[in-house]
Amino acid sequence: MGGALLVAGTTSDAGKSVLVAGICRWLARRGVSVAPFKAQNMSNNSVVTPDGGEIGRAQALQAAACGIEPSVQLNPVLLKPGSDRSSQLVLLGRADGTVSAMSYRDRKAALLDVVAGSLARLRAEHDVVVCEGAGSPAEINLRDADIANMGLARAAGLPVLVIGDIDRGGVLAHLFGTLALLDSADQALVAGFVINKFRGDPALLAPGLEQLRALTGRPSYGVLPVSDELWIDAEDSLSHAVDEIVGRPALPQGSQWLRVAAVRLPRISNGTDVDALACEPGVAVRYVTEPSRLADADLVVLPGSKSTVDDMAWLRRTGLADAISEHVAAGRGIVGLCGGFQMLGRRLVDEVESGAGDVPGLGLLDLEVCFDPDKHLGRPTGTALGEPVTGYEIHHGRITHRGDPPLVTLADGTGEGADAGPVMGTHWHGLFENDGFRRALLSRAAWLAGRHGFCPAPATSFAAVRTAQLDLLGDLVETHLDTDAVTELLEHGAPPGLPFVPPGAPSTVAWSDQT
């Protein structure tokens, strides 16, 4: 087997990431050397790779589905939104300035060469590369500068599957309209469709798929059922609804639940850090955005942020800052991660992200932070709460003063983070994924909150839970996708002679004939 294909979506969060991961898992379990690829990602959920760069977290999960280490080649262009109008550009794993929508458009022609080079390298190293698009391929106002959807498919000769989320409603119209807004050369690469998140009787959907095939000349490659078990490492933190329990926690080992409130910051970064907590039996994790939801929380998590100073101002504006202070004054625990850790300190000096200069923090840790222009990336190891830990760091903030004991002791004896009893913090992401540390943290939180009936489960393995989810994705693909047809696409590309569906992209329409 050889080749590559592109999974495009009718919308953001249509299921592209999970379908790519599922196809990768299915192939890897058959012994195929496979790699994922996303030319351009826009996300504040990212990881540090063994080759020292930063990529989208979804591509790291897809790499795990393939059984390979993540690399900067898997996601050569990453945009990290810092506001509604600007994003940090991460190119081949390294920050490369800030772009607006218009200035980024001017850079795309040069970036296409970078993207094509990364894809060519992966195709030379692996039997198959499964590519993920970005947003929708039918964004006709952006098509001329596209490097992630049909622009990439055209440049690399990739067959395309378009996935739509039936849970949103109107999926047949979404699929038809996406195809019908592409020009003839783009349409020639679209081989067919996949329906995601279906629930109910497939016989009711079948006539619609047949009519869609009659209208477009393209088949459905499968209908993936909704699965409540799939929730870890969602690409977008918005996939976790506010005030709903994250994940599917098992019943407590003891007589009491532990309640965790994770603050949904407007520019939350790496919100998936709390997924590991939500894997624990008896731990109920909720995302919250208003103060009353902290009143009965046993542990508060203040996650990372792409705009630390602005999100701290939001905490004050909403009353959450006061609620956090009251929570700590009551002796209950809080953990700050990366930007959330920095907010807990006395003082931040930020001329980099916000340009706000000297800004007071929440004052819950004896900590001062100065933002450096250069971003710090790392994959450190150490010990914390008496347990061996690993993690990764992605931040501009540099500690200039810390009066509290460190939370983590590194191999060289230096310290990282802060541990002031109820108030803890660290720049590390992924710390909760360390099973021993996580159990020690939850035990401390339960003790501080007086939840003496809570007992951490002795054998929960976050790595095993994640592996089970990847295997479930592989099972869904193997059971519900036409895998023979997918294999044919990988080996031979899009079928020849696929019909054109009018009207096509605006440049191919005689608009004078429409008036």
Q: How far apart are CA 418 and CA 367, in angstroms?
A: 8
**Residue of 396, 429, 455, 480 marked catalytic:** 429
Neighbours of 253 (CB within 10 A): 16
Q: CB of 31 within 8 A of CB of 1? A: no
Alpha helices for 330-398 (secondary structure H): 339-343
Nearest by Cα to 371 from 350, 357, 354, 356: 350
Identify whether the C-beta of residue 162 lies closer than 8 Å to the C-beta of residue 190. Answer: yes
For the question of residue 429 being annotated catalytic, the response is yes
| Coil, strand or helix at 262 | strand
- The one-letter code for the residue type at 371 is F
Per-residue pLDDT of the chain (515 residues; tens, 9 = 90+): 579 999 999 999 899 999 999 999 999 999 999 999 999 999 999 999 999 999 999 999 999 999 999 999 999 999 999 888 889 999 999 999 999 888 888 888 889 999 999 999 999 999 999 999 999 999 999 899 999 999 999 999 999 999 999 999 999 999 999 999 999 999 999 999 999 999 989 899 999 999 999 999 999 999 999 998 888 876 544 455 567 889 989 999 999 999 999 999 999 999 999 999 999 999 999 999 999 999 999 999 999 999 999 999 999 999 999 999 999 999 999 999 999 999 999 999 999 989 999 999 999 999 999 999 999 999 999 999 999 999 999 999 999 999 999 999 998 999 999 999 999 999 999 999 999 999 999 999 999 999 999 999 999 999 999 999 999 999 999 999 999 999 999 999 999 999 999 999 987 544 333 32
* Same fold: 3-219+482-508 with 240-460: yes
Using alpha carbons only, what angle is made at residue 476 by residues 55 and 58, rounded to the nearest 5 degrees? 10
Spatial separation of the C-alpha atoms in residues 262 and 283, rounded to whole Å: 12
Q: What is the pLDDT of residue 514?
A: 35
Residue listed under structure tokens 């965790």? 260
Please tell me the pTM assigned to this model. 0.94
Question: Which pLDDT value is given to residue 346?
Answer: 98
Task: Output the CA angle 220-474-239, nearest 5 degrees.
Answer: 80
Q: Could you state, in order of their start, the residue ranges of all structural domains in the chain?
A: 3-219+482-508, 240-460
Query: Catalytic residue at 480?
Result: no
Class assignment of domain 3-219+482-508? alpha beta
What burial letters (b/e) apply to 3-13, b meaning 16+ CB within 10 Å?
bbbbbbbbbeb
Q: CA 160 to CA 450: how far, in whole Å?
A: 55
The pLDDT value recorded for residue 1 is 57
Q: Which of 24, 66, 279, 338 is catalytic?
A: 338
Q: Show Cβ contacts of residue 87 under 8 Å, excluding neighbours closer than 6 positions.
A: 42, 79, 80, 81, 98, 99, 104
CA–CA dist 306, 88 (Å, integer): 9
**The amino acid at 354:** S
Among the listed residues 265, 275, 278, 273, the one whose alpha carbon sits nearest the alpha carbon of residue 308: 265
Rounded distance between C-alpha atoms, residue 173 and residue 305, angstroms: 37
What is the C-alpha separation between 280 and 275, in angstroms, rounded? 9
CATH of region 240-460, choose from 3.50.50.60, 3.30.70.940, 3.40.50.20, 3.40.50.880:
3.40.50.880
d(CA 21, CA 195): 16
